[in-house]
Amino acid sequence: MGMDVFSMHVKGGNGQQIAKALRGAAEEEGAAFYTHAGAGPRGGWLSIYPSADTVEAIDLVELAQKFKAQHALLLWVHDSSVLMYFYLRGANLVDSFNSAPDYFGEADDFAMAAVGKPEKFADLVGEAGVARLRTLLAGRMINGEAVGGEVPDEETDRLKVIGEVFGLPAILTTFESLEAGERPAGLEVVDRIEMEAE
């Protein structure tokens, strides 16, 4: 079995509003998160690492919409075989990517259309970053065949490059690794948010 990684990265948001949304999810759904402010050499990112149970229990895109941040990037690798991202500006979903839209069965129109539009990130990563993302996201697996470009054996490899482009060095960090006491460089200080569901 491969690796599961889920993280949310927020920039240009109101810290109190984000904390309120996370606490609300924790209170209502029993969700659990680790957070780290200022992640990455470019700074300004708040990284959020939800537990595996939280990923299963709540719609994290809906949660990110409550942040109303300038930028919210949700990254998910399932079993090292599928990479997905959802990118929001404010409460609006403006881009998404799914490397294997039919991995979980017949793909719906949304999954098939989630091809990624790297130009949406131009103000965050510059022209060189957009070009790098365009090449990185070109390949997808559809009906077990590589389509559009190269597809890595491990989607965590593609995730590492996304981390480099966005300046998020602890991109393979998970709630569970933080819970076990691991602290990658630059992620020495984290906060934990968890409450019993009502």
**What is the per-residue pLDDT for 169?**
79
| pLDDT of amino acid 42 | 54
The pLDDT of residue 41 is 46
| pLDDT > 70 fraction of the chain, expressed in percent and rounded | 94
Query: How far is CA 158 from each of CA 7, 53, 74, 76, 99, rounded to the nearest angstrom?
Result: 15, 24, 14, 11, 10
Q: Is the model's pLDDT at 146 over the cut of 50?
A: yes
- 64-86 pLDDT per residue, tens: 999 999 999 999 999 999 999 99
Report residue 13's pLDDT band, with 50, 70 and 90 as the boundaries: confident
Nearest to 86 by CA among 55, 57, 52: 55
Q: Does residue 198 form part of some domain?
A: no
Q: Is residue 132 part of a domain?
A: yes
CA distances from 181 to 30, 32, 175, 184 (A): 21, 16, 10, 10
Domain hosting 83: range is: 5-193
Query: What is the structure's pLDDT at 118?
Result: 97
Q: Count the domains in the chain.
A: 1
Mean pLDDT of 116-135: 97
**pLDDT at residue 74, rounded to an integer:** 98
What local confidence, expressed as pLDDT, does residue 9 receive? 95
The proportion of the chain whose per-residue pLDDT surpasses 90, expressed as a percent, equals 75
Q: Global pTM?
A: 0.92
Q: Tell me, what's the pLDDT at 188?
A: 66
| Any domain includes 153 | yes
Q: Rounded mean pLDDT of the chain?
A: 91
* pLDDT the model gives residue 39: 47
1 — pLDDT class (breaks 50, 70, 90): confident
Q: Where does residue 185 rank: exposed (0-12), middle (13-18), buried (19+ CB within 10 A)?
A: exposed
Give residue-wise pLDDT tens across range 47-61.
999 999 999 999 999
